[in-house]
Structure 1
Amino acid sequence: MSSDPWGRVDETGTVYVRTADGEQVVGSWQAGSPEEALAYFERKYEGLVVEIGLLEKRVQTTDLSSKDAQVAIDHLREQVDAHHAVGDLDALRARLDKLVELVDKRREERRAQRAKQTDEARQAKEALVTEAEELAQSDQWRVAGERLRSLVDTWKGLPRLDRKSDDELWHRFSHARSAFSKRRKAHFAQLDAQREEARRTKERLVAEAEALSGSTDWGPTAARYRELMTEWKAAGRAQREHEDDLWNRFRGAQDVFFAARSSVFAERDAEQAENLKLKEELAEEAEKILPVTDLKAARAAFRSVNERWEAIGHVPRDARPRVEGRMHAVERAIQEAEEAEWRRTNPEARARAEGLTGQLQAAVDKLRGQIDQARAQGNNAKADKLERELEGRQALLDQALKGLQEFGG
C-alpha cells in the first residue's frame, strides 16, 4: 500500500483521494506500482489546476461571456466532483466557487452597463427625434436637409432599444423627416412655378426691348427702357439655365439703343457747342450797339444780329440762360430807349404833363400867398399847417417838372 497527504492506494489497487467529506474512490490501478498509480492521478489533478488557472485568466482578462464562462466552470466542476484526480480537490472547488462569484459580478456589471447604454441610447434617440421635429419646421432647406441626413447616420450608430420603444421613436423621427421633405418639395415646386412665371415675363420684356432697340424716338424710348428695367427687377429670377441668356439679350437690346442715342447725342452736342460759339459772337456784336445814341440805327443793327441769331440752332441747355440773357439785355435797353423817345415826342402826353405842371405851380403859388397872409395876421398855427401842405405840393411839382424835362420842355 502507498499513500501521500491527498491520497492512497490499498492492497487491492484501489486509489482513494482525501476530501473534507472523507475519502473518495478515485479509481482502480492494476498496471503498475501504487506509486505510479498516485503519480498518474496526481498528474490528472495538475491538469485540472492548469485548466482552472487558464479559465480564471480568461474570465479576468477577456470579454468571455458569462454564459460561456459558466459552461466552462460547470464542465470543470463535473471533473472535480468525479474524483478522478488526487490532490486538494476542495481547494479546486473553492476556486471554482470564486470564479462563479466573479462571473456573477461581471454579469451584473455588464447588465448594469447595458442598462446604462440602453438609457443613454434612449436619451440620444429622443434628442435626435426632438431635433428632427424642430428641423422639420425649418426653411433653411440646404442646412436642415444636410443636418437631417447627419442625424440618420447618428441614429444608425446607436444601439437598438426594445422593439416597442425603438419603433415608436423611429416613427416620430421618420415622420419629422417626411414632413420636412414634403415642405421642401412644396417650396421648390412653388419656386419653380415662380421662376417659370418670371421666365415668361422676362421673355416678354426681352421681346419688347429688342423691338425698341432700333427706335430713334430717344426720350420716350429711354423712358420705356427704364420702365422695362423696373419690371425686370420686379419679375424675380427665372431658372438658372434661362436667366443669364435672357439678361444678355435684354441688356444687349438696351446697349444697341443707347449706343445709337449716344452717337446721335455726341453729334448734337458737337453741333450745339459750335452754335454756342456763334451765338456768343453775335451777343458780343449786339452789346456793341449800346449805349443807344441813334435809335433807328440801333434798331436796324439789332434786327440784323437777331435774324442771324434765329438762324442758328440750339445751344447746350446749361449755357442757354447765360447767352440768351446777354441778347435780352441789349433788347431791353433798345426798348427802354424807344419808350423814352415815345414819351418825349408824344404831343398828348406832353400836353397832359404841361397841364399838370401848371396846376401844381398855381397851387404852390396860392399856398405861399396864404402862408404870407397868415404870418402877417399873426396866425402862426395856420401858417405852419399851410407850410406842411406846401411841402407836399412842392414835391409833386418837382416830380412833374422832372417828367416834363423828358419831353425836352
Structure 2
Amino acid sequence: MTTDPWGRVDDDGTVYVRTSEGERVVGSWQAGAPEEALAFFRRKYDALVTEIDLLEKRLSTTDLAASSALASVEKLRGNVREASAVGDLDALTRRLDELAERIEQRRVEQKQEQERAREEARGVKERIAAEAERVAEETTHWKSGGERMRQLVDEWKAAPRTDRSTEQALWKRMSAARNTFSKRRKAYFANLDQQREQVRQEKERIVVEAESLADSTDWGPTSGRYRDLMQQWKASGRADRSSEEQLWSRFKAAQDQFFQARNAAFAERDAELRENAEAKEKLLTQAREELPAITDPREARARLRSFQEAWEEIGPVPRNSRDKIEGAFRKLEDSVRKAEDHEWQRTNPEARARAEATVSQLRDSIAQLESRLHTARENGDGSKVSEIEETIATQRSWLDEAERALSEMS
C-alpha cells in the first residue's frame, strides 16, 4: 500500500482521500505504479486549487457581481465535495467559506453602491431638469439656447438611471421645459420678419460703403474701415436667407478686391525691404571687421559715424528681421561708446588726481602703522602687534589695487 499525507493507494489499486469526515474512495488505478496514481489524483487537486485561485483573483481585480461570484463558489464547493482528487480538500472548503464571506460583504457593498449611484443619478437629473427649466424661461439667445437644450437631453440620456418613479417625474419636468422653450422660440420668430427687413437695409448700406472702398489705395485707414464694417455686419443680425447670401457675396467681393490689391503692394514693398536687409547685413559684417581693429576711440567714433550714415541711407528692413539686424548694429555702437568712456576715464585729470591722492594717503597710513608696530614690538604687546599687522595687510591690499588703477591711467 502506498500513502501520502492526504491519501493512499490500496493494494488492489483503490485510491482514497483523507478528509475531516474520514476516508473516501476517489478512484482506482490499474495502469501503473501506485506513486503514479497519487501523482495523477494530486494533479486533479491542483486543478481545483487553480480554479479557486482564479476566482479569488477575479474577486480582487474586477468588479465581478456578487451573485455571479456566489454561484461560482457554490459550483466549486460541489466540485470539491465530489472531487476525485488527492489533497487537502478541507483546506479548499475553508478557502471557499472565506470567499463566500468576502462575496457576501461585496454584495452588501454593491447594494450600498447601487443606492448611492441611484441617489447621485437623481441629483444629476434634478440638476439637468432645473437647468432646462431655466433655459426655457430665461433665454433669449435662441440658437445657443436650442443647442444647450439638446445638450441637456444628451446629458440626460448619458446619465445613469434612478428609481422609476423619480425618473418619470423628472422627465415630465424636462419635457415641459422643452415645450415651453419651443413655444417661446416660435413666438419670437413669428415676429421676426420686420426685424429681418431692417437688418437687410442695414447690410445693404454696409455693402454699398464696402464697394465704394474697393479701389482705395489708402491702405491703413481703409483696412481699419473694413474691420469696422465687418463688426457692424456681425452686430446687425441676420436678414432672410436669400438676401443674406447675396449681400455677403457682394461684401466679400469688395473686401477681397481691396485686400488683394493691398497684399500685392505689400509684396512689392517687402521685396524692396529684403534688398535693404541684405545691404545692411553686408554693412554690418564690414563694421564688425573694421571697428574692433581701430584702437583710437576718436577714430573709431568717426568711422562709426560713417557706418551710421550709410545705415540710415539704406532705409527700413522687413519687420521679421528688423530686431535682429538693428539690435546687432546697436551692439557695435555700444562697444564704441564704452571704449570712449574708458578712454575718458583713463585720461581724466580729476580722476588721476583722485587716484594719486588715494595712493599717497594709503602709503602715509601704512608708514604710520609700521611705526606703531615697531613700538608695540619693543613694548612686547603681542595683541597690539597682531592687530596692527592685520590692519597693515588690509591696507597693503588696498594700496596694490589703487596703484594698479593709477598705472592704467598712465
Partners in 1 of 2:286 and 2:409 — Cα distance? 31
Partners in 1 of 2:358 and 2:261 — Cα distance? 70
Using the aligned pairs only, state the percent identity.
Answer: 49
Q: Quote the residue 1:323 is aligned against.
A: 325
Instruction: Select which of 303, 314, 319 maps to 2:305.
Output: 303
Partners in 1 of 2:326 and 2:265 — Cα distance? 25
1:257 is the counterpart of 2:261:
no
Residue 374 of structure 1, CA deviation: 2.2
Residues 229, 406 of structure 1: alpha-carbon distance in 2 compared, 3 angstrom cutoff: same
Counterpart amino acid of 2:206? Answer: L
Structure 1 stretch displaced more, 284-293 or 373-382: 373-382
Preserved CA contact (<8 Å) 1:343 1:406 = no
Q: Quote the residue 1:158 is aligned against.
A: none
Counterpart amino acid of 1:315? Answer: V
Preserved CA contact (<8 Å) 2:298 2:340 = no
Q: Quote the residue 1:387 is aligned against.
A: 389
Q: Quote the residue 2:235 is aligned against.
A: 234
Preserved CA contact (<8 Å) 2:283 2:307 = yes
Counterpart amino acid of 1:309? Answer: W
Task: Show structure 1 runs of 5+ residues with no match.
Answer: 1-139, 141-181
**Superposition TM-score, scaled by structure 2 size:** 0.51
Counterpart amino acid of 2:367? Answer: D
SS of 1:385's equivalent in the other structure is helix
Residue 280 of structure 1, CA deviation: 0.5
Q: Quote the residue 1:349 is aligned against.
A: 351
1:207 is the counterpart of 2:205:
no
Residue 367 of structure 1, CA deviation: 2.2
Partners in 2 of 1:185 and 1:324 — Cα distance? 63
**Aligned counterparts, 1:140-155, within 5 A:** none
1:365 is the counterpart of 2:367:
yes
Preserved CA contact (<8 Å) 1:285 1:305 = no
Preserved CA contact (<8 Å) 2:203 2:247 = yes
Preserved CA contact (<8 Å) 2:359 2:399 = yes
Preserved CA contact (<8 Å) 2:199 2:237 = yes
Partners in 2 of 1:306 and 1:184 — Cα distance? 70
Q: Quote the residue 1:122 is aligned against.
A: none
Task: Show structure 2 runs of 5+ residues with no match.
Answer: 1-141, 143-182
Residues 186, 349 of structure 1: alpha-carbon distance in 2 compared, 3 angstrom cutoff: closer
Preserved CA contact (<8 Å) 1:340 1:406 = no
Counterpart amino acid of 2:273? Answer: Q
Q: Quote the residue 1:274 is aligned against.
A: 275
Residue 275 of structure 1, CA deviation: 0.5
Residue 189 of structure 1, CA deviation: 4.1
**Aligned Cα RMSD in Å?**
2.5
Structure 1 stretch displaced more, 188-197 or 277-286: 188-197
1:314 is the counterpart of 2:316:
yes
Preserved CA contact (<8 Å) 2:355 2:405 = yes
Counterpart amino acid of 1:230? Answer: Q
Q: Quote the residue 2:401 is aligned against.
A: 399
Partners in 2 of 1:255 and 1:334 — Cα distance? 50
Q: Quote the residue 1:248 is aligned against.
A: 249
SS of 1:290's equivalent in the other structure is helix
Q: Quote the residue 1:57 is aligned against.
A: none
Residue 266 of structure 1, CA deviation: 0.3
Preserved CA contact (<8 Å) 1:275 1:314 = yes
Q: Quote the residue 1:335 is aligned against.
A: 337
Partners in 2 of 1:280 and 1:286 — Cα distance? 10
Residue 251 of structure 1, CA deviation: 0.8
Partners in 1 of 2:239 and 2:249 — Cα distance? 13
Preserved CA contact (<8 Å) 1:292 1:334 = no
Q: Quote the residue 1:375 is aligned against.
A: 377
**Superposition TM-score, scaled by structure 1 size:** 0.51
Partners in 2 of 1:221 and 1:367 — Cα distance? 83
Partners in 2 of 1:395 and 1:341 — Cα distance? 26
Residue 186 of structure 1, CA deviation: 5.2
